[in-house]
Chains A and B, each alone.
Chain A
Amino acid sequence: MEYAVETFSLTKIFSDWWGRERVRAVDELNLKVRYNEIFGLLGPNGSGKTTTIKMLLGLLYPTKGRAVVLGGDGADPKINIRIGFLPEESYLYRYLNARETLDFYGRLFRIPAKVRKMRIEALLDMVGLKAVANRPVGTFSKGMARRIGLAQALINDPDLLILDEPTTGLDPIGTRQIKDLVLELAKRGKTVLLCSHLLADVEDVCDRIAILYGGKIQIEGQVKELLQQTHKKQITTDAISDTAVEKIKQIIQQEHAQCDISSPMDKLEAFFIKTVSSAEHQALPTNGAVSTTHISSFLAPDASAEDILDKLVSASVSAQPPVEPVTTEQVVPVETPEPTRQGEGPAVVPKGDEDLLSKLTEPAPASSDASRGGGPSQPDKTKAVVKNNEEIKTKPVESQEQAQKNILDKLTKDENTAREQTAESEAGDFGDA
């Protein structure tokens, strides 16, 4: 099977009570999402993105055509077990608390109790809601609900993740974390179908996109190819002398080309994260993590000291008792994540760059920085931010090692390890529950 999602002239017409056609929400859609790619479905409001997703999952029935998801019917439980779905809003049971919510969904997947418990704690930690895990989700803010929604979509370690507007209601840091997570999941061989009208989200993470309008695909292709301005070139340098700039200008004029030289602007997103994280550091000695709940719990001292991505994907890092007898199967694949990345990484992500934050701020090399007024030295700036972080990072080696434990590895491995581990070592694993 070549495609994870494939539709054949999928059409949805909403009719009124008399059967007269009212809205043609999706019109002869032929969508093809390959395995192990991040596919972005873009389009303005009402262009049929959500309707398409609902048809993929059997929540709506197509008027015409059909959809194949993971080689089968998207409403079939055998297929559902491999899908993670985050709807356009986090529709949660308001009376359940965060932990119960995840437990409920875990039980629908028939995940054994021990594995379920382990995954729930790991996911709560990942989305930064561990501190409020016993609060009814009805009291959550929109962003917090979104995080729980994301956690429930991941509880079954899905092969295909369908995210409908995943970043609505999230603050910039949460948005960044979701984007990082999507990239990390793709590296682990998952397929992600991302549906959004927030273009910045899509541009940063997607391999391929399709733009929908009026229920039809207007254009489809590789993000890089679609956006690259092949008739222009951009040179990024460190700060150089005016004479050097003049020399360059002269060379360019010899080529009969126009050139425009200025200092690059920082991306607002990177700037925002830099500001918030430094504020967090300053506030720490006095306030601790008392400041507004979810942001502080995410950027708590431990957390901000690590890479955000590591924090994002790491399993119950700080909460794990250090004396825990960690089995080798669990640790080995996690300590050396590089081979996996090189093997499976999608083209957008530069290889071998250990500095994940900077990697993620920096758009894919040779992509369209010029169009956004992005500057040559931008990657350096963001790197500098991370360097600051690295300087502050003074964690004991032991906990560093644990910090590297990766939730996704855990999610994929825990079923095996649960079988292998003895009962007591498991008890230690989620002793914080």
Chain B
Amino acid sequence: MHSVWAVATNTIKQALRVKIAAVFIILLMVLLTVMGTTMTGDGTLKGRLQTFVSYGLSLTSLLLCLLTIIISIFSLTSDIDQRQIYTVLTKPIRRYQILLGKLLGVLLLDVALLVLFSALIYNITIYLPQYIKANEMQRIEANNEFFTARVDLPPAEVDATQEVLDTYKKLQTSGQLEEMFPGMSGKEIIAQLTNQKKLQMRAAEVGRDLLWEFHNVRPADPNGRLFIKFKYDVSGVGSSDLTVYGRWFIGAWQFIRYGIASETPVYDRVHSHSIRTFHEIDAPAQVVPKDGHLAVGFLNVPANNTVVIFSEDPKVLYKADTFTANFVRAVLLILLRLIFLACLGISAATFLSFPVAILLSLMIFFIASFSSFFMESFDFLGENLSSIYRYTVRPIILLMPQFDKFNPTKFLVSGQYFSWFLLAKVTFLLICIKAILLFSLGLLIFSFREIAKIII
């Protein structure tokens, strides 16, 4: 441990004195302060907070990721290129201790910088409402939708497979299948029918209602608020400033669905909202029954005189944790990325020269940052080369981390609850499997390679 620590402190000294870190630190310091004071977003306090946190945290994450890649690679490749490793390796230190020392050094620096910058972002965020002297309404909005950590609960999935299969069979027997879906395989037709069915289930004709079922609704504060988030659309062209009147019911599922008496009150109100943007209605959390089995109903008021469509299912939101705790978890999520990248960089540096290792690591970083895009495009390509694709490209893509899937800013901006459980899952996938796998590979290569042989 003593020698690991010696290497670690040396790595930190190198990063600081060679001024790689200094460039990033100064850049980030300046940018964050400027962003905090100038960014206005959509003009409201919430918009301003969202823009700042989103850009600030993304920028911090991006720059620290780049810094981590550069330092972890530079630290090892410069030792090998400039041959300081000769004098280090001939001391009583094992090779894995050198790599561990480098990793420890990079991570300590990362933790220090991450704490510094996230503290800066956090403080600017917390003091922003006072700084811009926002009015009371804006503050309430910000408190409800930004300074919170809300669970974002989708309704229970309605199983439509049987109905879809029935329709399919009916069409098949009546011979309309070929006519309606020319040149499509059975699989594709079923997929299309399922989509149609789902759309149908989210469309309310005039005077008709829709009902969604929610399980496990457990607000942290029973006297707090409960939010329904939704987006209206209408059939036909309809101008976008059209307003839809909707009567909303929120209450115990047993009562609304089956009429069984319940102790909890039922929320029942008519709201008007414009179409094609997300809106939230808030209700007291007291409407939630003890078993957490909630029903949300929507009635298309006849005055609308049009079919109302929900392009997505509405969601139930309620506060489950504080903004601060959520922020801490978001920062930890960034740290996980950094740990992965440090392992990646050090492993790459064990067998590649500086520019090549940087190129490789940056490539992986960008693929990880746009992983869903890559996955989709490869899935699309792979349809034609399915078996080759399945055994070659796909495993590699699956081994790549998915930074965009667990984007810390996405959670913070929408005030969405990011649970410890989810964090543990990411830790397991990203660190326990991918990072450790990579680092072990690096250890293996470094333990057996000839150090004095220069690799170009």
Q: Nearest-CB distance from B106 to chain A (Å)?
A: 16
Residues from chain B with a CB closer than 8 A to the CB of A61 are 450
B452 near A110 with CB under 8 A, answer no
Contact partner of B82 (CB less than 8 A), chosen from A78, A91, A105, is A91
B1-58 interface with A by 8 A CB criterion: 2-3, 5-6, 10, 13-14, 17-18
Contact partner of B92 (CB less than 8 A), chosen from A59, A80, A96, is A80
Contact partner of B87 (CB less than 8 A), chosen from A60, A77, A78, A87, is A87
A60 near B453 with CB under 8 A, answer yes
Residues from chain A with a CB closer than 8 A to the CB of B83 are 87, 89, 91
The interface bits of chain A over 83-102 (1 if a CB of B lies within 8 angstroms of the residue's CB, else 0) are 10101010111011000100
In angstroms, Cα B377 to Cα A262, docked, is: 92
Q: Nearest-CB distance from A154 to chain B (Å)?
A: 12
Given contacts A85-B90, A107-B6, contact A95 B453 (CB under 8 A): no
Residues from chain A with a CB closer than 8 A to the CB of B84 are 91-93
A95 near B17 with CB under 8 A, answer yes
A60 near B450 with CB under 8 A, answer yes
In angstroms, Cα B17 to Cα A136, docked, is: 10
Given contacts A61-B450, A109-B92, contact A95 B18 (CB under 8 A): yes
Q: Nearest-CB distance from A343 to chain B (Å)?
A: 30
In angstroms, Cα B91 to Cα A78, docked, is: 10
A58 within 8 A of B: yes
Residues from chain A with a CB closer than 8 A to the CB of B90 are 57-59, 80, 83, 85
In angstroms, Cα B94 to Cα A80, docked, is: 10
The interface bits of chain A over 133-153 (1 if a CB of B lies within 8 angstroms of the residue's CB, else 0) are 000100000000000010010
A87 near B86 with CB under 8 A, answer yes
Q: Which of A100, A110, A152 has the most CB of B within 10 A?
A: A110
B14 near A91 with CB under 8 A, answer no
A78 near B92 with CB under 8 A, answer yes
In angstroms, Cα B2 to Cα A110, docked, is: 7
Contact partner of A110 (CB less than 8 A), chosen from B3, B14, B17, B86, is B3
A108 within 8 A of B: yes
In angstroms, Cα B393 to Cα A81, docked, is: 47
Residues from chain A with a CB closer than 8 A to the CB of B451 are 59-60
A91 near B2 with CB under 8 A, answer no
A3 within 8 A of B: no
B89 within 8 A of A: yes
In angstroms, Cα B87 to Cα A59, docked, is: 10
The interface bits of chain A over 29-40 (1 if a CB of B lies within 8 angstroms of the residue's CB, else 0) are 000000000000
B14 near A108 with CB under 8 A, answer no
Q: Which of B90, B450, B451, B452 has the most CB of A within 10 A?
A: B90
In angstroms, Cα B139 to Cα A91, docked, is: 60
Residues from chain B with a CB closer than 8 A to the CB of A152 are 87
A91 near B86 with CB under 8 A, answer yes
Residues from chain B with a CB closer than 8 A to the CB of A95 are 13-14, 17-18
Contact partner of B2 (CB less than 8 A), chosen from A58, A87, A89, A107, is A107
Chain A: interface size category: 20 to 34
B424 within 8 A of A: no
Residues from chain A with a CB closer than 8 A to the CB of B134 are none
How many residue pairs, one in A and one in B, have C-beta atoms under 8 Å apart?
Answer: 77
Residue of B nearest to A84 (CB): B90
The interface bits of chain B over 72-102 (1 if a CB of A lies within 8 angstroms of the residue's CB, else 0) are 0000000000111111111111100000000
Q: Nearest-CB distance from B50 to chain A (Å)?
A: 41
Contact partner of A59 (CB less than 8 A), chosen from B13, B17, B89, is B89
Residues from chain B with a CB closer than 8 A to the CB of A57 are 89-90
In angstroms, Cα B93 to Cα A91, docked, is: 17
Residues from chain A with a CB closer than 8 A to the CB of B82 are 91
Residues from chain B with a CB closer than 8 A to the CB of A110 are 2-3, 92
A54 within 8 A of B: yes
Given contacts A87-B86, A110-B2, contact A80 B91 (CB under 8 A): yes
Residues from chain A with a CB closer than 8 A to the CB of B91 are 80, 105, 108-109, 156
Residues from chain B with a CB closer than 8 A to the CB of A149 are 87
Q: Which of B5, B86, B94, B453 has the most CB of A within 10 A?
A: B86
Q: Which of A91, A93, A152 has the most CB of B within 10 A?
A: A93
In angstroms, Cα B95 to Cα A57, docked, is: 13
A81 near B452 with CB under 8 A, answer no
Q: Nearest-CB distance from A393 to chain B (Å)?
A: 38
In angstroms, Cα B91 to Cα A58, docked, is: 11
Q: Nearest-CB distance from B79 to chain A (Å)?
A: 9
A77 near B453 with CB under 8 A, answer no
Residue of A nearest to B91 (CB): A108
B6 near A104 with CB under 8 A, answer yes
Residues from chain B with a CB closer than 8 A to the CB of A14 are 453
In angstroms, Cα B334 to Cα A187, docked, is: 59
Q: Which of A58, A107, A108, A136 has the most CB of B within 10 A?
A: A108
Residues from chain A with a CB closer than 8 A to the CB of B452 are 54, 59-60
Q: Nearest-CB distance from A26 to chain B (Å)?
A: 13
Contact partner of A96 (CB less than 8 A), chosen from B2, B13, B93, B94, is B13
Given contacts A91-B82, A107-B3, contact A96 B10 (CB under 8 A): yes
Contact partner of B86 (CB less than 8 A), chosen from A59, A80, A93, A156, is A59
Given contacts A77-B92, A80-B91, contact A93 B10 (CB under 8 A): yes
A108 near B3 with CB under 8 A, answer yes
Q: Nearest-CB distance from B391 to chain A (Å)?
A: 29
Q: Nearest-CB distance from A408 to chain B (Å)?
A: 20
A58 near B89 with CB under 8 A, answer yes
Residue of A nearest to B3 (CB): A108
B453 near A105 with CB under 8 A, answer no
Q: Which of B5, B87, B451, B453 has the most CB of A within 10 A?
A: B87
In angstroms, Cα B3 to Cα A92, docked, is: 17
Residue of A nearest to B18 (CB): A95
Binding site for A on B (CB under 8 A): 2-3, 5-6, 10, 13-14, 17-18, 82-94, 450-453
Sample of 16 A–B contacts (CB below 8 Å): A58-B90, A59-B451, A60-B453, A78-B92, A80-B93, A91-B85, A95-B13, A95-B14, A95-B18, A104-B6, A105-B87, A105-B91, A108-B88, A108-B93, A109-B91, A149-B87
Given contacts A95-B14, A104-B6, A108-B6, 15 further A-B contacts (CB under 8 A): A14-B453, A58-B90, A77-B93, A85-B87, A89-B83, A91-B82, A91-B86, A93-B14, A104-B10, A107-B2, A107-B6, A109-B91, A110-B2, A110-B92, A156-B91
Q: Top 3 A-B pairs ranked by shortest CB distance?
A: A77-B92, A107-B6, A95-B17
